Amino acid sequence: MNRIRASIVTFRTDPAELRRCIGALNAAGVTRVAVVDNSPDDSLRAVVAELGASYTHRPDNPGYGAAHNIELRRSLADVDTAYHLVINSDVWFEPDTIRLIVAEMDRRGGIGQLIPRTFYPDGREQEVVRLLPTPFDLFVRRFLPKALTRARDRRYLLAFRDHSRELDVPYHQGSFMFLRTSALRSVGLFDERFFMYPEDIDLTRRINREYLTLYWPGARIVHAHRAASYKSLRMTLVHTVNMMRYFNKWGWFFDSERRRVNREVLAAAKALQAPASH
């Protein structure tokens, strides 16, 4: 599939994990795969070469979005590249997954970005789309006991909806962002002011202004999802600082676009609400 390029950003990544991800891409027909390695050393170089992918070493670690932008710019410079997949190394899928996604996006030119139905390795559903966050949403999810925040969290994650039906949502988790290059030419790339974390919210939100940013259950992937910021104090601080930058850009408590979009998404999600179990 020469119309597609994929990029993976690594940082001290397990070589076995990277092999599985690139292997899934190659099995799906994606042969133009690029790894941008933000690790201090280039120990992954030989692994990447063995797998037939390109390798760029950035020991200065410019950040997640900035590293992907290196490859996104190459996709935009190539008029034959219709789609670019931003993918995490801890994602894998069946060989027909990419074909199904491309067919859907070819059929519907209004889709600027797509994320498929996503599962944990143990088969549990993973919530990969959500409302545009308020500062309260992020505070609730991170610092208060789950027993006190379950209802709010369920609303924010749109977990109540029927996951077997598609939904246009302006916030996609960044583990698998299937992007139309013409949409990127229109709205721009990742905002490099964000070192890590809110760059996926920011880009999806900008694309959603002009295109559908679609949760599409017609294809499935598996995402191991380590959630590093919940396990490391340093990554918690990185997450917090960068979310502050996000709210400085879009608005903390006064964000009229967020209010309007979330109202519309909630209404659409409630219309797709999964039947109550008995």
Residue 131 · residue 63 · CB < 8 Å? no
The answer, yes or no, to whether residue 277 has pLDDT greater than 60, is no
- Predicted confidence at residue 106, as pLDDT, reads 98
- Predicted confidence at residue 75, as pLDDT, reads 97
Task: Return the H-helix or E-strand segment holding 267.
Answer: helix 256-271
- Predicted confidence at residue 231, as pLDDT, reads 56
Q: Which two tokens stand for residue 28?
A: 């799906």
Q: pLDDT class for 2, splitting at 50, 70, 90?
A: confident
Q: What distance in Å separates the CA atoms of residue 214 and residue 167, rounded to the nearest whole number?
A: 6
pTM score: 0.93
Q: Which two tokens stand for residue 42?
A: 């280039």
Q: What distance in Å separates the CA atoms of residue 39 and residue 211, rounded to the nearest whole number?
A: 34
pLDDT digits (tens, 9 = 90+) for 145-160: 776 678 888 999 999 9
Whole-number CA gyration radius for the chain: 18
The answer, yes or no, to whether residue 121 has pLDDT greater than 80, is yes
Q: pLDDT class for 236, splitting at 50, 70, 90?
A: confident
Distance from the first to the final alpha carbon of the chain = 45
Mean pLDDT of the chain: 92
Residue 19 · residue 39 · CB < 8 Å? no
- Predicted confidence at residue 261, as pLDDT, reads 97
The answer, yes or no, to whether residue 230 has pLDDT greater than 80, is no
CA 242 to chain centre: 16
pLDDT digits (tens, 9 = 90+) for 46-55: 999 999 999 9
User: Which residue's entry shows tokens 């950003």?
Assistant: 9
